[in-house]
Amino acid sequence: MYLGIDIGTSSVKAVLMDGSGQLVAQGSAPLTVERPHPLWSEQNPESWWEATVAAVRALPERERQAVKGIGLSGQMHGATLLDRADRPLRPAILWNDGRCEAECAELEKNEPRSRTITGNIAMPGFTAPKLLWVRNHEPDIFAKVKTVLLPKDYVRLRLTGEKAGDMSDNSGTLWLDVGKREWSDAMLEATGLTRDHMPKAVEGTAATGKLSAAVAEELGVPQVVVAGGGGDNAASAVGVGVVAPGQAFLSLGTSGVLFVVTDKFRPNPEKAAHAFCHCIPGVWHQMSVILTAASAIDWVAQITGVNNVVQAVAAAEKRGLTDRTPIFLPYLSGERTPHNDPYARGVFFGLSAETTPADLAYSVLEGVAFAFADGMDVLKEAGSHVGDVTVVGGAARLPYWGPMLASALDVPLTYREGGEVGGAFGAARLGLLAATGGDPVTVCTAPKVSKIVEPVSALKDQMAPRRALFTDLYKSLKPSFREFGR
């Protein structure tokens, strides 16, 4: 058995995979996000550990005792600040926190080569600007920082006592020279840090220590090796066999990701595309990221009183597109690709007295699809060839969304067995690779296809003028977003 642990934003997931690559069991435990001020998003690192213990112990005891290796996956970018005793100094600042826009400009001023070194534009979601914010606004805490870890790597520290971070997760800090796959002294200096503040940089397939005896007893798992692991998206790619150049996936989680594997470092920072290391050695990837995806459907179901995502989507399907269906801008938490705008907000345009909850649900599904299409354009502009696109994430189970997404992206979408498990399954595969030294290409095969959804010509024709209006609305409202958010 191999154990995969995914430290998400809304929950920690744990899965068991057998040696043949079959999913055996899964467990989870919820997490909550604190938003004490506008643009802020934080979590207590201790909650990750408590949820990890609960999720793992929810797995069958007999199978847990047969575990031979563990892999980790997790939400990216979260700034977890530790003192000399490895205790958190403050709540972790998360990936969807937008407070440090000014520090992004400060970082790129401090190091003008930032985009060349990291391959990415400085965004509020990344880790390095968060540390500048702490230095500027909480100097007493900054002075006490001994180590900065990402969420999954804090859990690794609790599991093994080791401080390590894999290349894919490290890529999202703005402290990594992504092309060279090593920490950048120049980028660290730009935030007042050194390599001494960083964990050891490793590949996702590398072994990073073993469970301590006390933790092994607490989890009911042998003292086995823990893999370097991966950021949530890179680990998801491993889980669905997206490891070769041109292979891609579409992630329908809290946020949304269009991920394509590249043969080399291919940055496009000006359009807010991400160019990161993969968690497989010698491979890179590009991502377009939208900050609100499936979470927008949860939101619209709640505000319309449906309180059931499946029912909301079914109502949207039954209603269909009418000449009075509003346009929705899905920027409930700001946006990354292609706008890099923390002030952007959600908008329904075209509401009338005849608008129904089903119309709103349809608008949300369509608006998120348009945001993904913006990201596809950016990846193609950066030189990526996007071939087979696999759908992953919890919202992959929503059947009506598939044709809309395929039509907006103008590519077929492949649904695979277990695609909704996401990063936890990929983490289990990385645990196997660390324990056995196996070949990633042999281990990380694509799961069986359950269905392929093709673009729908009629739907493409209907969506084209609405996407043009979608684009114009953001351009028109951008100055108002900034004024509203100040």
Q: Output b/e per residue, 266-280; b: 16+ Cβ within 10 A.
A: bbbbebbbbbbbbbb
Residues 28 and 136 in one domain: yes
Question: Structural domain of residue 203, as residue ranges?
Answer: 2-240
Best CA proximity match to 332, nearest among 379, 364, 362: 364
In a domain? residue 443? no
Contacts of 223 (CB under 8 A, 6+ apart): 210, 211, 212, 213, 216
Task: Give the whole-angstrom CA distance, residue 191 versus residue 194.
Answer: 9
Residues 162 and 208 in one domain: yes
Helix (H) or strand (E) holding 217: helix 213-219
Q: Output b/e per residue, 27-56; b: 16+ Cβ within 10 A.
A: bbbebeeeeeeebbbbbebebbbebbbbbb
DSSP code string of 219-278: HT--S-EEE--EEHHHHHHHHTT--STT-EEEEESSSEEEEEEESS----GGGT-EEEE-
Does residue 461 have a pLDDT over 70?
Answer: yes
In a domain? residue 371? yes
Q: Residue 399: its pLDDT value, please? A: 83
Domain boundary among 240, 269, 304: 240
| 110 token code pair | 């401090």
| 194 token code pair | 């050194």
The residues annotated as belonging to the active site are 232
Are the C-beta atoms of residues 157 and 149 closer than 8 Å to each other? yes
Does residue 137 have a pLDDT over 90?
Answer: yes
In a domain? residue 64? yes
The residue type of 131 is: L
Residues 82 and 223 in one domain: yes
- Measure the CA dihedral 142/145/150/152, to 10°: -140
* pLDDT tens by residue, 406-443: 999 999 999 987 666 678 999 999 999 999 999 998 99
Residues 232 and 275 in one domain: no
Q: Output b/e per residue, 459-469; b: 16+ Cβ within 10 A.
A: beeebeebbee
* Number of domains composing the chain: 2
| 374 token code pair | 């913006």
DSSP state, residue 89: S
| 178 token code pair | 């992504």
* pLDDT tens by residue, 233-272: 899 999 999 998 889 999 888 889 999 998 889 888 888 7
In a domain? residue 440? no
Are the C-beta atoms of residues 209 and 148 closer than 8 Å to each other? no
pTM: 0.85
| 135 token code pair | 């230095």
* pLDDT tens by residue, 83-108: 999 999 999 999 989 999 999 999 99
The residue type of 425 is: F
Question: Which residue(s) pair with 306 in the sheet?
Answer: none
In a domain? residue 430? no
Residues 281 and 344 in one domain: yes
How confident is the model over 460-485, as a mean pLDDT? Answer: 94
Q: Which residue in this structure is represented by tokens 């950048």? A: 184
* pLDDT tens by residue, 364-401: 999 999 999 999 999 888 777 787 799 987 788 888 99
Helix (H) or strand (E) holding 458: helix 457-485
* pLDDT tens by residue, 315-340: 999 999 998 899 999 999 899 899 98
Q: Residue 79: its pLDDT value, please? A: 98
In a domain? residue 123? yes
Task: Give the whole-angstrom CA distance, residue 388 versus residue 452.
Answer: 10
Q: Residue 380: its pLDDT value, please? A: 86
The residue type of 451 is: K
Are the C-beta atoms of residues 88 and 242 closer than 8 Å to each other? no
Q: Residue 201: its pLDDT value, please? A: 98
Residues 282 and 150 in one domain: no
Residues 264 and 117 in one domain: no
Q: Residue 323: its pLDDT value, please? A: 87
In a domain? residue 218? yes
Domain boundary among 240, 255, 276: 240
Domain boundary among 223, 240, 257: 240
DSSP state, residue 199: P
Residues 292 and 194 in one domain: no
Q: Residue 452: its pLDDT value, please? A: 94
Residue 480 is part of a domain; what is its CATH number?
3.30.420.40
Q: Above pLDDT 90, what percent of the chain?
A: 83
Residues 253 and 226 in one domain: no
In a domain? residue 432? no
In angstroms, the Cα distances linking 81 to 15, 146, 148 are 28, 8, 5
Q: Residue 397: its pLDDT value, please? A: 80
Residues 478 and 460 in one domain: yes
Residues 400 and 328 in one domain: yes
- The mean pLDDT of the chain is 94
Q: Residue 383: its pLDDT value, please? A: 76
Q: Residue 403: its pLDDT value, please? A: 94
Residues 307 and 415 in one domain: yes
Q: Residue 8: its pLDDT value, please? A: 93
